[in-house]
Copies of this chain bind each other. A is one copy, B any other.
Amino acid sequence: MSSLIDPDSSTPKYMQLANFIKQQIDSEVWLPRQMIPSERQLESQYSVSRPTIRQAIDYLERLGYLYREHGRGTFVSPRKLQKGMQELTSFSEDLQQRGLQPGQIIRSIAWVTPSENIARRLEIPAGTQVMQIDRIRLGDESPIGLQTSFVALAPGEEITQADLEKSGSLYRILEDKFNQIPTEADETLETTLATVEEAVLLHIKPDAPLLLNERLTYNQYRRPIEFVKILYRWDRYRYVTRLARKSS
């Protein structure tokens, strides 16, 4: 047995421990509803202090892998609760998780002056130009949704068609090229009806219902970087999320 924890590693001990526990759960060595070793037991087994262990458990509890019961122990969350935790994902990541092959048709990329409404949401001065990207999103090569993104970039920065075709994911471009890491987003979902143009692009009848998803995405400094509207075909898309009750 002994030290899976390397004290000289650049990854913190609590994260090493968390990864170990996560692995025990993912590989089903520790089963759902089963109690994991108590904090004192872990302390002596892995020679790390209790605060460090609590930090690891805190982390996994937030991710939904574990739950605690005061006086009883710490337990593995049932399988269903382990996925998700309302993650912010790009369209490409989203579809891959659903087992569909993501694809896209880029209809246009252009600098535009956004509406006053969108400029306010992006917290940029009226008149500032942003990049508008219109895409048809595909799942297994047939249309799932229409996506219009408005991206607020710093002067001199630009997204090209080549960028998008290469990576497929706007989020990856923002991270790799501009060091803008999407960390949080506000989303709204509502139902609407397809216009004639939308119906043609999505291969559906006009007036068919659509799921309209609007999202304002923030970077690591809590600055808005992208406002996006996605219109989903009602018969091909279902939105999934997880909610948690506010504590205290």
State whether B211 touches A189 (Cβ < 8 A).
yes
Closest 5 CB pairs of A and B: A209-B209, A191-B234, A88-B243, A189-B239, A88-B245
Max chain B Cβ within 10 angstroms of own Cβ: one of A78, A209, A240: A209
State whether B243 touches A187 (Cβ < 8 A).
yes
Task: Digitize A30-65: 1 where CB-to-B-CB distance is under 8 Å, 0 elsewhere.
Answer: 000000000000000000000100000000001110
Residue A246 is within 8 A (CB to CB) of chain B in the complex: yes
Q: Interface stretch among A104-112, A177-185, A195-203?
A: A177-185
Chain B contacts of A69 at CB under 8 A?
A: 221
| In the bound complex, CA of A87 to CA of B232 (Å) | 25
State whether A77 touches B189 (Cβ < 8 A).
no
| In the bound complex, CA of A66 to CA of B211 (Å) | 33
Residue A80 is within 8 A (CB to CB) of chain B in the complex: yes
Chain B contacts of A210 at CB under 8 A?
A: 191
Chain B contacts of A64 at CB under 8 A?
A: 184
Interface residues of A in 71-96 (CB under 8 A from B): 77-78, 80-81, 84-88
Residue A228 is within 8 A (CB to CB) of chain B in the complex: no
State whether A189 touches B238 (Cβ < 8 A).
yes
A86: which of B238, B240, B244 is its contact (CB, 8 Å)? B244
Count class of interface residues, chain A: 35 or more
| Least CB separation from A233: chain B residue | B191
Q: Return A179 CB to nearest CB of chain B, in Å.
A: 14
| Least CB separation from A238: chain B residue | B190
Interface residues of A in 192-222 (CB under 8 A from B): 192-193, 209-211, 215, 218, 221-222
| In the bound complex, CA of A246 to CA of B243 (Å) | 15
State whether B86 touches A185 (Cβ < 8 A).
no
Task: Digitize A123-146: 1 where CB-to-B-CB distance is under 8 Å, 0 elsewhere.
Answer: 000000000000000000000000
Q: Return A126 CB to nearest CB of chain B, in Å.
A: 19
Seed contacts A188-B240, A193-B209; 18 additional CB < 8 Å A-B pairs: A15-B248, A51-B51, A80-B186, A81-B222, A87-B245, A87-B246, A183-B244, A183-B245, A184-B242, A184-B243, A186-B243, A187-B242, A189-B238, A189-B239, A191-B191, A191-B210, A192-B234, A209-B234
A67: which of B51, B62, B222, B241 is its contact (CB, 8 Å)? B222
